[in-house]
Amino acid sequence: MYELMTKAIRCGRGASIRITGLCCWVLFAVLQSAVCLGAAEGAPRSSLFSISLEQAKTSALQRNWDLLASAAGIEAATAQRVLASEFPNPVLSLSTAKINVDNHGSGTVEGNSVWDRSYDTIAAINQLFEVGGKRRTRQAAAKAGFENARASYHDAIRTLHLAVTKAYVAAVLAEENARILNQTALTLRQEASLAEVRLAAGEISTADKTQIEISAARFELDARTAKSSAAQARVALDVLLGDPRPTDHFTLSDNLETLADLGNPVSVNQVIANRADIVAAEAALRKAEADLKLQKLNRIPDPTLLLQYEHEPPDMPNTIGLGVSLPLPLWNRNRGNIKGAEAARRQASIALEKLRAQAAAEIATARLAYTDALERLKDQRDSIAPKSEHVRKTVAYAYEKGGSSLLDLLVAERNDNEVRLATAQAASDLAIARAALKAATSEISDSISKP
């Protein structure tokens, strides 16, 4: 490449040399960029990045498949509103009759051209008119359907935030469990190293040293299982984030201490009238009522007005006609559709009442769970965990000095490990309980962008 550029530069003189050289350098830069771009496209995507809970929620809002489908539901409801606002199109009809097919002439005194023959040609326009407020009622039903779709979209956001929080906290908890188990195993490995010295001095038996090593190995196996669970939880989280190729190759920047912040009490709404799922159910009831009203109005016949022009020479060469037609409600009064609409309205009403009761129960349950998790974590952090740590250190020191038995050491290590795991679980429960309480009492917010 450089040889070609050198030859090109040497071939010119004066300004032509500078232009040719500049062109060659531009060509080289373009080729080099293309090579780099091709290498970037062929290279695997970065497999190591860190994500916080808020970033995970933002990503889910942009890419989650269920949420995208819910947004498409709003588009469908918008199309129904447009359809309900449209006026019925007129119908144009053209016909020609009285064309002789038995060798009789069709000419008239006006001539034998197509227009002068005794054909009966009719051009008519039919226009349907909806009466009784049907169009207005249909628009009200479409508007209620749109409100239902929009509220359902906000409810999907509410439940998605909770699902992402649960998946994120589950992954963080699994990682914390793996860390605790590895730490316990490391402590026992250190105890096993000290046991080597005591074994050489004849203070303990080989069986005692082996039991310590076995306990350490068991904790290491448990840590490996917890690590696998953390990877599976990250994959489940990546699915919620809408990644087409879910993977566990990322890290979580938030820890349990941050997620279960005791200094950040949750404030909840006392009124749930504007909760997204309830708003959606209310809109569904209004739509059902509008549909029922429309079916009752359909018992009123809609007239179709007719305006026609007729050409039939020679006697009636140019005439116009007016007419009206309407269905006669003789054999049915739309009773079947009315019964179906009444049943749909009853179902929507029952569904709304059931949802209100479920929402109240959900709020009460979430509030109790949050209070219990908050108190449990305080007890674990402030009372139980420090005491357990103190007992473990005391027993370990006594065992190193020969003042306690191997059984005491293993029991103290196991109990302290269980206490630390329980503390991590309490922090996880508090983080999830806080998110569940917020989700149960959250109302539709205008700050959420509408699709």
Q: Which ranges of 127-205 does DSSP label H, i.e. alpha helix?
A: 134-201
Check pLDDT > 90 for residue 89.
yes
| Domain termination site, one of 333, 358, 390 | 333
> What average pLDDT is seen over the chain?
84
Q: What does the alpha-carbon distance between residue 341 and residue 141 come to, in Å, rounded to a whole number?
A: 12
- Per residue in 240-274, pLDDT tens? 999 888 888 889 999 998 898 866 666 655 556 68
Would 159 be classed as within a structural domain? yes
* 38 band by pLDDT with thresholds 50, 70 and 90: very low
What percentage of the chain has pLDDT greater than the value 90?
A: 59
Q: Give the pLDDT of residue 291.
A: 96
Would 30 be classed as within a structural domain? yes
Q: Same structural domain for residues 284 and 363?
A: yes
Domain count, the chain: 3
Cβ proximity of 247 and 238 under 8 Å:
yes
- Per residue in 377-392, pLDDT tens? 999 999 999 999 999 8
Q: Same structural domain for residues 69 and 83?
A: yes
Q: Same structural domain for residues 210 and 165?
A: yes
- Per residue in 422-451, pLDDT tens? 999 999 999 999 999 989 988 776 544 444
Check pLDDT > 50 for residue 23.
no
Would 165 be classed as within a structural domain? yes
Tell me the torsion sign for CA atoms 429, 434, 440, 446.
negative
Would 47 be classed as within a structural domain? no
Q: Same structural domain for residues 151 and 21?
A: no
Q: Same structural domain for residues 78 and 106?
A: no
Q: Give the pLDDT of residue 447.
A: 45
Decide: helix, strand or coil at residue 122.
strand
pTM, full prediction: 0.77
Would 340 be classed as within a structural domain? no
* 213 band by pLDDT with thresholds 50, 70 and 90: confident
Bridge partners (DSSP) listed for residue 296: none
Q: What is the mean pLDDT of residues 208-230?
A: 89
Q: Same structural domain for residues 314 and 165?
A: no
* 211 band by pLDDT with thresholds 50, 70 and 90: confident
Q: Give the pLDDT of residue 387.
A: 93
- Residue 410 CB-half CA count within 13 A: 16
Q: Same structural domain for residues 167 and 233?
A: yes
Q: Same structural domain for residues 183 and 259?
A: yes
Q: Same structural domain for residues 245 and 304?
A: no
Q: Same structural domain for residues 221 and 206?
A: yes
- Per residue in 113-149, pLDDT tens? 888 888 899 999 999 999 999 999 999 999 999 999 9
Instruction: Write the CATH number for 63.
Output: 1.20.1600.10
Check pLDDT > 60 for residue 5.
no
Contacts (Cβ under 8 Å, ≥6 apart) of 136: none
Would 343 be classed as within a structural domain? no
Q: Give the pLDDT of residue 271.
A: 54
Q: What is the mean pLDDT of residues 37-48?
A: 39
What domain range includes position 103? 89-129+300-333
- Per residue in 279-323, pLDDT tens? 999 999 999 999 999 999 999 999 999 999 999 888 888 999 999
Q: Same structural domain for residues 189 and 320?
A: no
* 4 band by pLDDT with thresholds 50, 70 and 90: very low
Would 434 be classed as within a structural domain? yes
Would 58 be classed as within a structural domain? yes
Token pair 């050489």 in the structure block, residue: 200
Higher pLDDT, 128 or 9: 128
Residue 245: burial class (beta carbons within 10 Å; 0-12, 13-18, 19+): exposed
Q: Same structural domain for residues 108 and 205?
A: no
